[in-house]
Every structure is written in structure tokens, then in C-alpha cells.
Amino acid sequence: MIDLSFEYRRFTIPKEKKSLLGLDAILHTFVGKVLKTLTNPRKLRKQSEIIYTLSLNYADLSDKQLQRKLKDCRKVVRFGKLKTDKQLNEALSYIAEASVRTLKLRPYSVQLMGAVAQYKNFAIQMLPGEGKTITAALSAILMAWMGKPCHVATSNDYLAKRDSIIMSSIYEFCGVSVGHIISDMESDDRKENYLKDVVYTTSKELLADFLRDQMHDTEVTNFNKSLIRGISGKKLSTKRVMRGLYSAIIDEADSVLADEATTPLIISAPSKNEMLRDATMIAKDMSDKLLVDIHYTVNRKFHDIKITDDGNEKLDKLAQDLPPMWSSFARREFLVKQALIAREFYSNNEQYIINEENEIIIVDEKTGRMMPGRSWGSGLHQAVEAKEGVELSNPTETHTRMSFQRYFRLYTNLSGMSGTLQKLEDEFWYIYKLPTIKIPKNVPTTYDLLPYKLYSTIEEKWEAVVENVKEINALGRPILIGTRSIEESFDLSNRLKKHDLEGMVLNALYHEEEAEIVELAGERAKITIATNMAGRGTDIKMEPDVIALGGLHVISTQRFDSKRVDLQLYGRAARQGQPGSVQPILSLDDELFIQLCPKWLHKVLKNSVHTYMGKLLTSLVYSRFQSKSENLSSKMRKKILQKDFSLNEMLSFSLQ
């Protein structure tokens, strides 16, 4: 009976918390502000200095003596969280000394601040290059000492494997086991790694494994079923790989908990549907006969297609010789619109790539990385395949789905870190009950943000980028150029070749060479062209002679929907106090500007962008559009959470 109860507690997850509205939401916001006041950077700084000083006192202890102290702390934590700051200070000071002995690194005061804040379930804003990897390990050890699993979510498989390996020595010294989960890992290996105290992986792997576990059976999470099976002598399911949801530390928290939060992860399986395959090809042929602005209109701001009256007349004529189902206005319009959406909004080397097997592979536009195994729903994936002339895949049947937003709300202890949490404070508290705090810099940021260069057309912009590359390359400085898509990165590479400049390209097509490309990017006169794969989790190292030349020069060629993504790219320069520079080069035909700018204003700005006042006005408008995009996205995420919760209640859906 004890074993049965243990299994039930082990796999049962907390019931999802209802999103707050009205006065409850106002009170909730007030509580968040009070909590931030009680734990402010000044208090954290004082506490971290105490921990740092204490750790120096343990330098004379032998390894055995230090490990005995660590073991004593582990016993205290095992019975619950450290109840006083004095206990926390003592525990972290021992771990800090363990870091010196295993990693040859004594944690800085700011890293200790971050570890304390994360242990207290804060999301910390910590600038790139300040040592978030060590900070996460310090707090993960404390979490693991509670005897329950701690998941550290990183940006990609490479970082998950790397961090678990390079931090393994400090974990082992502190009596904590560590493992990692990557995308190509088999189920048995996953289960073995999830048995470790601390597991490094990605948010996608965590959610996918969670959903697969939920699908396998409900016996463990339903106590009555567990009891019946236990009494009858039957064993509980052994297919599950996870050990429950308790503590999570989210790296790049702004990306996972905000930018990608509402994207659902779907567990599905192919299902044959010959009728859909045939209909997709017919819809593609019909759409080829429609002309933009005559038979249909395109709204690029809202990614929408509207078929005009002339378009419907055209479709009526085209449907006369087709099977009866094409006489149905609603069904016909839906299929043709999917074909038009595939044509107008989805492009090779931007939203997807075509691999060597002639398959459509989706590219994550926010991270620039491939997402094999993913597919668009409602026949859109097949519409894109038809457009590209590749073999149509079978549509998928959804078995289960969940957003990252809802998944991470299930953890008992949630914390995170990122260099860019600006404007997310209220949203994180409202959705995740996760307060944020800004950790001061250990080393001052020294990159030189050069004045924006604004141009009327995209062609003028790329010409300016090439000239800037030629100028900086002549000095011998390494250059990192951020582009929005795979197609842009290849186009710029070809432009540079015409000027005898060779650039390494880092995008989803070369993801396997990512570590090697990043390692070389800091060499003298090296040119690296990257999508925003290089914006997060990468550290470009440089030799002293390159630093003496002025360090890394970053060129930003487009503003993203969120300023936080821009700042991530800027943060590749001048890490850890090194020199560096950032040059934004933009045009009035960039995607963000085109989507949000009214046509009349776009025309006015184009005519005046070459003047001083015109550039000033354009820069202000650009910033306004970016801020507007951020605010709209935040409101949308809050509304989606409310909608999801209401829908689940109506369907009587429960994870228990």
C-alpha cells in the first residue's frame, strides 16, 4: 500500500491554476509588486556578499571535510526548503567553494545573487556573458537536494549536452546526479536520464515526454485505478519516462515563457486521407488561376486572404467540371485559401526548407532552427508541399496537445533566466506567478551602439551592409551579421563573394556545424552570417590580438517583432567587458515596417528618409511599431491562456 501511494504521489501533477480576472487580478498584481519590494537587488547584493565571504573561509577545508558539510546541508534541505537566509547562505557558500575545487571558478557576487533569486522562484535578468550556466548549476543543486527532480531547460540539444557535461564535476562533488535528454534519444535512455537528480534538456523535449507519458495510461494519476490494479496484483505502467514535475529552471525564459509560450506542442500520427490529398492538388491548380488584387486580396498584417466576388465567380466556373463536393462554397473556399496562404505567406528557406529527401521541414522563425517531425495543420502542410511540387505527406491525426504556457504553470517551483526580460514583468507574474528581478552587471557593458542607418529600399540596405563589412573587415575585426531568414543569409553571402569576401553561413541548414562555426567566428577578419540561431546561447571567443583591434562587430539588418530579440543579437558583442560595436542597418521595406505601417505614412517616410528630420521621424515610428507589436503579443498570450482554461473547463478536461 505504501508503494502504491508513493507511485501515485510521484506521478500526480498539481491541478492547473485558474487565470485571474477582475479584482482578483488586481490583488494578484499588488501582491507581486510587494514581493519584488521584499526581495530587491540591494538586499540580494548584501546577501551574496555574505555568501562570498563565507565561502572564502572554507578554502582550508579538505575535500572530505567540505563534502561532509555539503552532506549535512543536503539532509537539512531534504526535509523542505531552507527556512532562513542564514541556512541558505551557509549552503550556497559550501557549493561556491565546491565550484572552486571542481570547475576552478569561484562564483562572482552577481552569480550568487542569481542563484539565491532562482532558489526563491524568481526569473532573473542577467546579461549575456555574466555566467548564467554556473548560476543555474548553483540553484539546481539546492533544488535537487530536496530529493525531487529538477529540470534545466536550455535553448537546444547542443547546450543541454554541453552544460550537463561541463557541470558534471560540481554536481558529483555535491552528491547530485546529472543527465541530459536530446531529441534523438531512445525511450530507455530517456527514462534512465530522468532518474537523475538534475536533467538538462530543451522545453520541447520536456513537454513532448510529458504528453507521451499522459497518453500511455491514466492508471498512475487516477488513484482509484491505481488501487484496483494494486489489489489485483497487476503492475503499474512502466512506459512512463518522467518522474513528475517539481522544479524547473528555464534558460532564455523570455523565449520559452513568452515568445513561444502559446505555440502548442502536438503529439500526432499520420493517417491516410486520399480525399484530402486529391483535394489539395485540385485546390492548388484552382489557386494558380487566381490573380492577386483581382480574385483575392492579401492582408500581410494579419496573414489573411480574402477571396473577392470576382474570385468566387471564377471558382464557380472552375468547379463546374469537378466532383460535387466542389460545389460546396465553404469547403471550396477553405481549401483554395489554404493554397493561397501557402503561396503568399510561406517561402522556401524562410518558413521551411526542403531536405535531401524532398520533405518539407518547418523552420522556427524565432530561433532559426529546424523542427523535424512538426507539421502545419488543417491541410496547410500539404498545400505547401503541393506548391513546391514534392510528394504529399499523409495528414496527421492529433492525439494530444498542450502549450508551453500551460505546461510550465504545472511546476511547483519555477524559475528562469535571460539577458532580456524587459517589459515581461507583469506578464510573467500574471501567467506564471513568477516575479522578475534584474541582476546588476559584474563587468560593465562596453559595446558601442552606433547610430542607426536607414534606407528607403531593401537594395540600398544590402549595399550599405556590404560597404560596412568591407570597411570593418579591412581592420581585421571579426564580424557577425544577423539576418531574418535562411534566404537572406544566402543572398548576403553571394553579395559578399562578388567583393571577394567569404562569409560563413550559420542557419538551419548548417545546424550540425553550429558549434564549429561559432568557435571560428571570433577569429581575425572572420565574417559570419547568421539567422537568429546565433542570437541565444552562443559565446564567441576571441584571442587578445583580435580584442586589441576592437573586438566583434555586429551588424543588425532588421528589427524583430520584439526588441528583446534585437538585444540578444547585440549582446554577442563585448561580452565580459571586451570591446565591440553594433551597427543597425535598416530599410523602410523591412518586414516589421511593411506589416504595421499605413500606406500613406510609408510613402511620406520614403520621400523624406534621406533628410535628418526624416530619419529621426522614421526611427521613432520604427520604435513605436516594435513596441506596439510587443504589447499586442503580450495581450494575446494572456487572452489565449484565459480561452484555453475556459475551453478545458467546458470539456471537463483534467490532467489529474
Express each pLDDT in 350-363 by its tens digit. 889 898 889 999 88
pLDDT recorded at residue 623: 85
Superfamily of domain 272-394: SecA, preprotein cross-linking domain (3.90.1440.10)
For the chain, the residue count is 656
User: Domain 2-263+404-438 class?
Assistant: alpha beta
pLDDT recorded at residue 11: 53
- Please say whether the beta carbons of 203 and 252 come within 8 A: no
Amino acid at 650: M
pLDDT band at 274 (very low <50, low <70, confident <90, very high): confident
C-alpha pair distances (Å), 5 with each of 1, 15, 146, 206: 6, 18, 19, 25
pLDDT at 654 over 70: no
What are the domain boundaries of the chain?
2-263+404-438, 272-394, 447-622
C-alpha pair distances (Å), 638 with each of 31, 48, 262, 426, 650: 18, 35, 9, 11, 19
- The Cα 142–Cα 93 span in angstroms is 12
Tally of CB atoms within 10 A around 76: 15
CATH code for residues 447-622: 3.40.50.300
pLDDT at 4 over 60: no
pLDDT recorded at residue 73: 93
pLDDT at 191 over 70: yes
pLDDT recorded at residue 366: 66
∠ at Cα 32 (27, 38), nearest 5°? 125
Predicted TM-score (pTM) of this structure: 0.82
Q: Residue 413 CA to chain centroid, in angstroms? A: 20
pLDDT, greater one: 6 or 264: 264
pLDDT at 237 over 60: no
List, for residues 488-498, the tens digit of each pLDDT value: 888 999 999 99
pLDDT band at 2 (very low <50, low <70, confident <90, very high): very low
Average pLDDT of the segment spanning 369-384? 84
pLDDT recorded at residue 64: 95
- The Cα 505–Cα 237 span in angstroms is 47
pLDDT recorded at residue 655: 40
C-alpha pair distances (Å), 592 with each of 349, 385, 449, 458, 624: 18, 27, 21, 13, 11
- The Cα 485–Cα 339 span in angstroms is 22
Q: What are 152's strand-pairing partners?
A: 200, 249
- The Cα 276–Cα 281 span in angstroms is 9
Q: Residue 496 CA to chain centroid, in angstroms? A: 31
pLDDT at 462 over 90: yes
DSSP helix/strand/coil, 361: strand
∠ at Cα 501 (495, 502), nearest 5°? 95
Average pLDDT of the segment spanning 536-542? 72
- The Cα 87–Cα 456 span in angstroms is 61
Amino acid at 2: I
Q: What is the mean pLDDT of the chain?
A: 85
2-263+404-438 against 447-622: fold identical: yes
- Please say whether the beta carbons of 199 and 226 come within 8 A: no
pLDDT at 174 over 90: yes
pLDDT recorded at residue 426: 87
Nearest residue to 419 via CA among 265, 547, 298, 538: 538
Q: Residues 329-337: contacts with CB within 8 Å, 24+ apart?
A: 332/283, 333/307, 335/279, 335/280, 335/282, 335/283, 335/379, 336/283, 336/286, 336/287, 336/290, 336/307, 337/305, 337/307
Burial class (CB in 10 A: 0-12, 13-18, 19+), 367: buried
pLDDT recorded at residue 632: 82
- Please say whether the beta carbons of 537 and 157 come within 8 A: no
Nearest residue to 335 via CA among 299, 395, 282: 282
pLDDT band at 656 (very low <50, low <70, confident <90, very high): very low
- Please say whether the beta carbons of 433 and 17 come within 8 A: yes
